[in-house]
Amino acid sequence: MISKKNPKISLENKKAMFFQIGLTITLIVVLIAFEWKSYDKSNYNLGDLNLDDMEEEIIPITRQEVKPPPPPPPPPEIIEIVEDEVEIEKELEIEETETDEDEIVEVEEDDEEFFMVVENMPEFPGGDLGLMKFIQKNVKYPAIAKEYNITGKVYVSFIVDKQGKVTNVKIVRGVDKNLDAEAMRVVSMLPKYKPGKQRGKSVRVMFTIPINFTLN
């Protein structure tokens, strides 16, 4: 004999089991809900950075102007110094001729630099021979020197300036004040030279000449 179970009784028996299963699932869901942590995504979303708000800072490039170094100062002009007196190749012998003893010679002086030797020396009109003839023609033997039989060699220095004019006439080595004065007078009368030049520029050049006063 086959017994048949009542479906209602079987369902009632499983109802308690389903209730326990459902309660268990509910508890698990509640526990998971309490344990779940929510995070603010806005704090960690690196992909949402707005690059348009970041302006690139442009640093201007400044270029300092480099000034060229100042030109070197021009080299000072070299003044040639001669240890001894300038050698005179020719001497002038002055024979007795009378002159005015009271005649005064004015001598121009200055402190501007000069040369003793330059590339192109000043030239007297007619050369050295013309210079000798000019002095012999114009020198007059002082009467008082002639009376006292005074003779000797007078050394006279002078400077030919940039224009060729004879300036700064001085007695380097004298004999007698009357002979010295006459030598200075004649040298001061010298006509213009052709100016001397150094490196293409006219310069002042110093000369020294002897004038020999003799009596026959």
Does pLDDT of 215 surpass 50? Answer: yes
Strand 152-160: give its sheet, edge to edge: 92-94, 205-213, 152-160, 166-173
The rounded distance, in Å, linking the Cα atoms of 101 and 61 is: 87
137-192 per-position pLDDT tens digit: 999 999 999 999 999 999 999 999 999 999 999 999 999 999 999 999 999 999 99
Token pair belonging to 113: 């630099």
pLDDT computed for residue 38 by the predictor: 56
The rounded distance, in Å, linking the Cα atoms of 102 and 124 is: 29
pLDDT computed for residue 53 by the predictor: 53
Contact between 146 and 182 (Cβ < 8 Å)? no
The model's confidence at residue 109, banded by pLDDT at 50, 70 and 90, is: very low
Q: Does residue 103 sit in helix, strand or coil?
A: coil
79-108 per-position pLDDT tens digit: 232 333 333 334 555 444 444 444 433 444
Does pLDDT of 129 surpass 80? Answer: yes
Does pTM top 0.75 for this prediction?
no
First-to-final CA distance of the chain = 202
The rounded distance, in Å, linking the Cα atoms of 18 and 16 is: 5
Architecture of the domain whose range is 92-213: 2-Layer Sandwich (3.30)
Count of H-run helices and E-run strands, the chain: 4, 6
Mean of the pLDDT values across residues 110-135?
91
Mean pLDDT of the chain: 75
Does pLDDT of 75 surpass 60? Answer: no
pLDDT computed for residue 29 by the predictor: 81
pLDDT computed for residue 28 by the predictor: 83
Residue 206 phi, psi (nearest 5): -100, 140
pLDDT computed for residue 48 by the predictor: 53
Of residues 22 and 12, more confidence is placed in 22
In this predicted structure, which of 3-17, 38-52, 95-109, 186-200 has the lowest mean pLDDT? Answer: 95-109
188-204 per-position pLDDT tens digit: 999 999 999 999 999 99
Mean of the pLDDT values across residues 46-57?
53
pLDDT computed for residue 197 by the predictor: 95
pLDDT computed for residue 77 by the predictor: 36
pLDDT computed for residue 76 by the predictor: 39
